[in-house]
Structure 1
Amino acid sequence: MRTFVSAVAVVLCFLLSALAVPAIWLDRNVVQEDGFVALAAPLGQDAEFQQRLAAAAVGTIDTRAIPDALAGLVKPVLEAAAGSLTGLPGYPAAWEETLRKSHRLSFAGSAAVPAEPDSPSSLTLDVAPLVGLATEELARTTGLPLTAPEQTLVNVGEPEQRQLVEKVTAYAPLGYSLAIGAGIAFALALVSARRRWSVVFAVGLAALALAGLWSAGSQLARDAVVGAASGNGLSDMFKDAFVAAASTSFQSWVGGAAITGAVLVAAALVIRIASPGRRPSTR
């Protein structure tokens, strides 16, 4: 009976861990604002992405207040502003604020998203901080009375992916409870086992198996997302770069799981060799 209980507890630990680790990763790196910003911040250092993002931001500047006689003169100034935007001292802070505003817009719930027919999508970038930076620089260099908008949205993904975001937001926080459950199942397996080294060995093998499953699943998810082109060059570039960064981040967790599994397997073998069991007494 003890062996049966221990085996069931090991299986339960395996299943709970399989769900807990991806959920915790999602919560820390996607659902939580600081984790999302840390994961996506390096995207702003990509030269090609910077150029397209700057052009998109400058292209949204409202020039209706500019007299028609000056419109032809302002166009080259706008193009120059797009090229120099990423070199401005305020660009890093504006990019970070863009990510924070975008995260709040996409993950704060549907109530926070403007009710527009072509909105929302799985992720909506609010590039207003970058537009504000460009507007400020343009107003400074031309002396024109330009006002930056409070919100400038760039949709990333497809509108139906909003449901996926909502599911991720609901699922991710459950990872901590699942992890606690996995720990309790592991403890139960140890307590009820006749040979505890076998439990450690089985859990180590399970960790190695999970590392393989998570790695394969991560690659499949990455290929599926990257393969779904939206037709918007800027959106696809952000999506592809973000998915690549997310995959790399999660692979580091997978590597940690594989190392943990290997250590547990090695520890179990050492325990087994050091404690081979009771030998029959000899006279």
Structure 2
Amino acid sequence: MRSFLAALAVILGLLLSAAAVPAIWVDRNIVQEDGFVALAAPLGKDPDFQKRLATAAVSSIDTGGTLPPQVAALVRPVLEKAATSLTGLPEYPAAWEETLRKSHRLNFADPASLPPEAESGTSLTLDVAPLVALAAKQISSQVGVPLEAPGQTLVNIGQTNQRQLIDRVSAYSPLGYSLAVGAGVAFLLALVTARRRWKVLAGIGVGALALSGLWTLASRSAADAVMGTASGNEMADLFKREFVAASAAGFASWTLAAAIVGAALAAAGVLARVVGGPARRR
């Protein structure tokens, strides 16, 4: 009976772990602002994405409404040049990070609080106002004419009808921590209940190895499914490709850690069996 209860506890712990680990990863790296910024920051180094993003930011600067026509005509060539030189400025990394932070707050905010310009059905909206402010500052210093940057400049790069997915992720990913606690309690109960604890260690280890493989397959399938959809927006597809690749690489480090822990537990169980067997016979 004790062995049966221990086996059930191990199975329960593995099932809870199967859901807990991906949920915790999503919460820490996507739902939480700092994690999202750390994950998406390298995207700003992609040359193609940099060029398209800078062009979108610079083109949003409205010189016609604030400058006389003759002055606006002089500023226009400077604007076109700024689109190619913006990413080379020392302030660009900080402006890109602030863009990510403002965009994260925008996308994970209550839909009722979104500005009218942001489509509530869009999966991801970038607020490139920090980049626009950087471009305006650069242009102003070159032409000697002050340009006022808008407080918010939105670039929709997601598909429609995906806002609900963001809401679900925000609501359910924090539950991963509770599931992880439940898994830990189940594993501890298995160790306390079992007659042969080495079997519990080995079982948890083998289960962790199996989960690592399943997580890897699921991650690849999810990435392929996302990459298989096209939004019709070139910049959106580029951002999606780079962000999915970064996410897959980030989660792969967690699955590798799970595999290492699983192998260690399995080896510990076998070692305990080898060492404990002769001791029991004596």
Q: Give the TM-score of the pair, scaled to structure 1.
A: 0.95
Gaps of at least 5 residues in structure 1 are none
State the shift of 1:22 in Å. Answer: 0.5
Looking at structure 1, the residues matched to 55 and 63 of structure 2 have their Cα atoms a distance apart, in angstroms, of 15
**What's the counterpart of residue 2 of structure 2?**
2
For the 8 Å contact 2:120–2:163, the answer to whether it is kept is no
8 A Cα contact 2:25 2:251, kept in partner: yes
Q: Where does residue 150 of structure 1 map in the other structure?
A: 151
Write out aligned runs for 1:83-232 (5 A): 83-116=84-117, 118-232=119-233
Task: Output the aligned Cα RMSD.
Answer: 1.5
**Secondary structure class of the residue paired with 1:158:** coil
Distance in 2 of aligned mates of 1:254 and 1:260: 10
Distance 2:118 2:101 in 1: 24
2:58–2:79 CA contact under 8 A, matched in 1: yes
**What amino acid does structure 2 have at the position aligned with 1:51?**
K
For 1:264-275, list aligned pairs within 5 A: 264-275=265-276
The amino acid across from 2:170 in the alignment is T
Structure 1 residues 163, 119: closer, same or farther in 2, change over 3 A? closer
CA distance in 2, matches of 1:96, 1:132: 14
Task: Render the CA deviation track for 1:182-213: whole Å, top value 9, x for unaligned.
Answer: 00000001111111111111111110110011
Q: For this pair of structures, how many residues does the alignment match?
A: 280
Instruction: Please state if 1:53 is matched with 2:38.
Output: no
Give 1:258's aligned residue.
Answer: 259
User: What residue ranges of structure 2 are gaps of 5+ in the alignment?
Assistant: none
1-structure distance, mates of 2:216, 2:76: 49
1:131-169 Cα offsets, whole Å, 9 max, x none, are: 011011112212234210111111122121111111111
* CA separation of 1:98 and 1:117: change in aligned 2, threshold 3 A: closer
CA contact (8 A) 2:117 2:154 kept: no
CA distance in 2, matches of 1:15, 1:148: 52
Return the offset for 1:119. Answer: 4.1
The question of whether the paired residues in 2 share the 8 Å contact of 1:113 and 1:120 is answered with no
Percent identity, aligned pairs only, is: 62
| 2:249 corresponds to | 248
Q: Partner of 2:82 in structure 1?
A: 81
1:75 partner amino acid: R
Q: 1:89: how far off?
A: 2.0
What is the CA–CA distance in structure 2 between the aligned matches of 1:111 and 1:274, rounded to whole Å? 63
Letter in 2 for 1:46: D
CA distance in 2, matches of 1:21, 1:194: 29
Using the TM superposition, name which of 196-205 and 57-66 deviates more: 57-66
The AA in structure 2 aligned to 1:125 is L
| Map of 2:25 onto structure 1 | 25
Q: Take 1:69 and 1:119, find their aligned partners in 2: how far apart are those partners?
A: 39
CA distance in 1, matches of 2:255, 2:200: 21
Q: What amino acid sits opposite 2:38 in the alignment?
A: A
TM-score normalised to the size of structure 2? 0.95
